[in-house]
Each structure stands twice: as structure tokens, then as C-alpha cells.
Amino acid sequence: MKFTRGYWLTRENFTMSYATQCVRTEREQKRLHVLAACVPVRGRGDILAGGALDVTFTAPMANVIRVTVTHFAGKALKVPHFEIHETENTPATAEDENSVAFTSGELTARVLKKQGAWQVDFVAADGHTVTTSGFRGMAHALDRNTGKTYMSDSLMLDVGECVYGLGERFTPYVKNGQTVDMWNADGGTASELAYKNIPFYMTNRGYGVFVEDSSDVSFEVASEKVERVQFSCEGETLVYDVIYGRTPKGTLDLYTALTGRPPLLPAWSFGLWLSTSFTTNYDEATASGFIDGMAQRDIPLSVFHFDCYWMKGYNWCDFAWDPDTFPDPEGMLKRYHDRGLRLCCWINPYIGQQSPLFKEGMEHGYLLKKTNGDVWQTDLWQAGMGIVDVTNPEARAWYCRYLKKLLAQGIDCLKTDFGERIPVKDIAYFDGSSPLHMHNYYTFLYNKMVFDTLKEVRGEGEAILFARSATAGSQQFPVHWGGDNSASYVSMAETLRAGLSMSHSGFGYWSHDISGFESTAPAHVYKRWVQFGLLSSHSRLHGSSSYRVPWAFDEESVDVVRKFTKLKCRLMPYLYGAMVQAHEHGAPMLRPMVLEFPDDPACDALDRQYMLGDSLLVAPVFREDGKVSYYLPDGKWTGLLSDRKVRGGHWQEETHDFMSLPLMVRPGTVLPLGACDTRPDYDYADGVELHVFGLEEGEARQVKLYDLKGNVSATFTVARKDGKLAVQTDSTKPYGVVEH
């Protein structure tokens, strides 16, 4: 939200009250309170009618400083709060005649004490300034036309500083110059709207900022004032955390410790998912035909997904199989389980009026209501539909009882679609929550209740969703996919930009509809997207009005799907280790280049390539003719598919057929490749091959392999000494070593 016209003038409808001067400090053991006058105080009379802002500094964990700015403290509005995982730490305060300081770990907030001046410097332990809230930054705003009030602050950007994150955004990867509003919406992938808005950004200077507000926080990223990031929200209080991780990966480590780590996922979920698609006609014979077709063509399939029409139209959601197309659901699901498949069903939090659950939910008060007591209804999506009131514990239990019946039939996981179209006007939640703040937060409660149900029924480590909407902390309920994209290279590229932004936002896993959801891709787009999709953490073939089985495109598509599905299965010892890193430290499996190479400025803006884990560089091909340009950081890289050696430090231009793409191995890598290429869940230590790439004399690398419960099953240390490779291991199973 913009409050000014240029640097000096305020917009006509706003009255701004800026923090102007520190006039009082109160130091406590774990807290610093500063009173900031909104006018210069030169004498006693200046405190009258000038207003002030209460600014409090606390430390939810080491290296994180929380700033709470309050204008009027008497607001009684009930708002949901993000779940924050604070850890015990001992901040320190200090004061002299020039400033007062609050220190958390290696980060200090230093408040200037000077008449007529306001400045808060966030300073690292080595003395360099991380960022600053300064002149006309911290503020209260009154919109005289609407009577609404807003709180705002802005933090300085340095020369060459790039801003990333803010959720799943399909706009340019580097957010500088953009206005970004936190408002979950079903806008497709070709717009500035986003399904997953996360009020957290990070920069290439080793810190991030998390605004702890679930409403429509607005970010002006080097836009209103090009040297700052401004963030504002409606109300009388603003809370934000400055998170100093020293590096981008270190910042994600702290942010996910604060808002929740991505959990470990079942290994079977990393295999290929195949969907019935959305509006296609299908029944058991259709589904079986797809499954048989994949098996006949030697394409490993891990999960089969039933989209909306497993239920009867107009009845979404009643959680009952349409008897006209699936007369024997339990038998069908058992037959598919016997073939080694896991099974997924589509659901959403909306209840159509024709569903038997609508009357039941209405009678018990389980559906979202208007302020006059009526059930809120709409015809947009399902005729007369209502929405489950997820603030009502009994409504959540009621909804989840139906899910448990579905799971008892043999369903293994659930696609939690929607959660963005949540009304705000004239709405009364069961617990009295502010509708404005619940709009984005709804998805957290929705996906949490489903994920927790899966954990309860299937057990720890077996729960997985395929979710579309999200907010801060939703990384605890994976996996999320990128929404409704189109069948083109342009949409493929915007999908990747969204995945990179999600990675900067704390999400360890991410997926997308291979070849695009809308329309039907030409075969060349399908094959290029298959490569990209099977080199993502999770891989799903899904569409809208047509099937996505490869033989529907051309015979070469079958070969491409087979090759890259089998490759992913063999990569599972490595990918499982990358998952453990996401779980333990928040490092995403799909990593923007700047996360792995923060000291290489050429990586700051790269948005058409990524690291898969810490050792594999992937550059998807976005052209029919197979031409691709990508950047390799310094060092001697090796093509995993070609064994070609390439010296990095500059851009590469290549042409690839449909069986290949730039998949480069980082120098000094020991890459474990599994012995099985037919499924993702197997004993990774049995017959593993350790592929060694560019290990220099005197260097050593350790590789940990895991069992399917996330426990270390084998450890290998590979070193080069006197020109030879030596391996130390505690494994009793056969393994091989291949040097490249």
C-alpha cells in the first residue's frame, strides 16, 4: 500500500504519524521498550496532541529480533495468530548517551537517542549494518475517506540487494520494484495473484523479515521508495521479526525453526503420480486402463489420483463414491493396492447444497455463517455451497470423521484443493475471529486438520497432502503444488519462478501439473515438462479436460516418462537425504541458485535453473528446438546424463534432444545412486553405487543413507589420498564406487 506521492508528499486521503524521536526507554532482562514521539519534542508543550508509538523489542529465539509497534492498544479485535515455536534464549540490553541497544545472538537493534531524529539500525556482531528503519519509516496511517487505520514500517535496501520470497509468486523472481499484497486468491499462474501468500521475505544479504500478521499485509518492495521494503497492515499494531541467518540458507533455517519445519514424507510419495484429470470422463475401467498402460510400457507408477468426479456432480463434498461410475470402491481400491499403488482422492472444504452433509452441517452449526445467523452460501463452484467453519472444533471433528471413513476404504492421501475463496464481508466465525485475518489463515486450519487426520490414521511419517493454498507455517503440511498453469513454455517458466519463490518462503517440497493444467500441450512441451517435473521433489501428471498419460501425446513421450521416472527412482538415496536436510534445517529440495552460491553475484537473479538438493544443477529446456542457456558457478562440473566435463564460471549454450537436458553434478560430489529403478521406496544401501565427481587430493566427503523411517542406515566416507579413492563405511551390504 502506498501512502506517499514521491519521497516527500503524503497522499491526499492519509494522515501520517511517523516515529520521529526516541523520548523514553525501559530496559528489562528480555525486553526493551521505547516510546517514539510522532513530533519532535523540544519542550514540555510538544508532548501534547502529538501522538506516540510504543515500540517493543523481544527475542523469540537467538539471532531473531521481534519488533512490536503499537499506536492504540485498546483494540479488542480477535485475530488468529501464526503458530510460533519460540526457543529459550538470553537477549541483552545496553544503553549510553547516544543509543539504546537490544541484542539477540549475533543481531543487535540499536535505537538512536537524538532530538528530532528516529533511526533503528539492525547490526551484526561483526559491526556491519544489516538493515535500518529510518526517516519516515515506522508509522501510523489514518485513511480519512474510510476511517481505516494502518501500521507501517520500511527497511533499507543496500546496493545490489535482491529481495526474494513472499510466497508462491508467478511474477519476476527478484521482487524489487513490485507491490505484493498478501491475499490468497484463485488467479491461475499468469497473474500477480497467488494461492500461497507468505508474509516473509529474504534477501541476498543474509537476513529475512517475517510480518506476523495473517491479514492482507502489503509489501512495497523497492517500489514506493526504491531504497526500501515497506510493509503495512490494517489496524493499530504491527509485529515483525528481523531474522539474521548470515546466509540465505541460514536464514531459512531460523525461519522454519520459528514457523515450523517441513516433516519427513513417505518415500513412496517421491514416485510418479498419475491423475484422472479434472473434467474428463472416467470410471474404474478408465483408471485400470491407465494403470495397465503404464505397467505395459514399463513406466513405474507410485500413486494414482482420483480427481473431483469420484463423487457425484453437485454433491461435492459428500465423500461418497459415485455409484454410477464406481459401484465397488472398496474392491477397486484393494485391487489397486494389490498392484503396489498408493491412492489419493480430491477434496475441498466446501459443501454443496445437494450434499447430504449440507443439511447436517447447517443443523449443527458447522458451516460458516453471516452476521445475521444465516449460512453463508454461493453458487460459485458448487450450487448453493457452504464452507466448513474450521474455527469450530466440533465442525473439524465432524469433517474429519468422514475423512476417516474414506481412509478406511483404502485411500492413502488426500488432495486438499481450494481454501482461497474465503469470504470476508458480513461473516461471523464460530470463535469470533476477524474475517479479514481468517481469509488467509483459513488454509492453515483446513490443511492442518486434514494432515493431522492422516497422521492419526496412517502414522507418523506417512501423512502427505497435495495442497493448493497456504500461508505462513503451512510448510508443516506438505506437499503443495503450483496451481492452474497453462500448456506452454511461458507457463512452465512462470511455474518454476513460483517454485523458487516458495523455496525462499520455507517450503521444503513443491510440485506442479506436468505439461500444464489448462488445455493440452503439444508433445514437445509435454516432454520438456516431464523432465522438469520428474526433477522436482514431487511429480504429478494432471490436467483439466484431457488425460495426461504419455501415449496420448506420442510414442517418444512414453520413452521420456520412462527414462526420467526410472532416473528419479535411482536418485532416491540422494533425494531422501535432501528431504532430511529440509526437515532438519529448512533447506528446500528445489533450491534457488543463490541459496547454494550466495557469494557468486551471477546467481542472484537466475530464474530458469535450480539446484535439486545441494549437488545437482537442473536447467529445464524452454524451447521446442532444444536450445538452452544456463550458468555454471566456478569449478569443473560433470553432466550426469552425458558424463561431459564442463568448466564453470560462465554461461553455457547447448542443444538437447528430448532424452536429455542440462543435469550437472557439482564438483567434489559423491552421489549415491540406488540399485532399484522401478520404485522409490526400497533399501537404499543395498547395492548402492557411489559416483565420485571431481574429488581433489586430500578432500573427503561423507554420505549418509537412510532407511524408510528417516534413520541413518549406512555412512560412507570417500577420500582421495595419494591419487587413489578410499572408502570407509559401516555398511555390511554390497556397494560400488564409480569415478567420473
CATH of domain 669-739: 2.60.40.1180
Average pLDDT of 532-558?
A: 98
Predicted pLDDT at 437 = 98
Q: CA-CA distance, 185 to 440, in Å (whole number)?
A: 9
**β-strands 735-739, 688-693 pairing:** parallel
User: For the sheet containing 107-112, what is the strand order?
Assistant: 92-95, 99-104, 107-112, 120-124, 129-133
Q: Which CATH superfamily is domain 267-343+392-412+444-466+474-576 in?
A: Glycosidases (3.20.20.80)
Mention every residue, 6+ apart, whose C-beta is less than 8 A from residue 344. 273, 303, 304, 305, 306, 411, 412, 413, 414, 415, 466
Average pLDDT, the chain: 97
Predicted pLDDT at 283 = 96
Predicted pLDDT at 528 = 98
Q: CA-CA distance, 8 to 687, in Å (whole number)?
A: 68
Indicate left, alpha or beta for 506 from its phi (over 0: left) and psi (-120 to 50: alpha): left
Predicted pLDDT at 398 = 98
Residue 65 reports pLDDT greater than 90: yes
User: Which residues are marked as active site?
Assistant: 417, 420, 484
Q: Beta-carbon neighbour count of residue 25 at 10 Å?
A: 17
Compute CA distances 435 → 62, 77, 448, 491, whole Å: 33, 10, 19, 33
Q: How many CA atoms lie within 13 A of 645 on its CB side?
A: 8
Average pLDDT of 689-694?
A: 98
The class (CATH top level) of 4-259 is: mainly beta
Predicted pLDDT at 45 = 87
For 180-204, the pLDDT digits (tens) are: 999 999 999 999 999 999 999 999 9
Predicted pLDDT at 29 = 85
φ, ψ (nearest 5 deg) of residue 430: -55, -45
Average pLDDT of 504-525?
A: 98
For 440-481, the pLDDT digits (tens) are: 999 999 999 999 999 999 999 999 999 999 999 999 999 999
Average pLDDT of 372-401?
A: 98
Predicted pLDDT at 76 = 85
Closest CA to 436 of 449, 448, 426: 426
Mention every residue, 6+ apart, whose C-beta is less than 8 A from residue 157. 131, 163, 176, 203, 222, 227, 228, 229
The torsion of the CA quartet 566, 570, 575, 576, rounded to 10 degrees, works out to 120
Q: Look at the pTM and tell me if it is higher than 0.95.
A: yes
Average pLDDT of 280-304?
A: 97
For 624-666, the pLDDT digits (tens) are: 999 999 999 999 999 999 999 999 999 999 999 999 999 999 9
φ, ψ (nearest 5 deg) of residue 50: -95, -20
Residue 116 reports pLDDT greater than 90: no
User: Domain spans of the chain?
Assistant: 4-259, 267-343+392-412+444-466+474-576, 590-664, 669-739
All 3 cell numbers of residue 213?
Answer: 500478521
Residues facing residue 545 across a β-bridge: none
CA 239 vs. chain centroid, Å, equals: 21
Q: CA-CA distance, 619 to 651, in Å (whole number)?
A: 12
Residues facing residue 190 across a β-bridge: none
Confirm or reject CATH 1.10.3720.10 for domain 590-664, answering yes or no: no
For 68-83, the pLDDT digits (tens) are: 999 999 988 899 999 9
DSSP helix/strand/coil, 452: helix
Residue 49 reports pLDDT greater than 90: no
Same fold for the pair 267-343+392-412+444-466+474-576 and 590-664: no
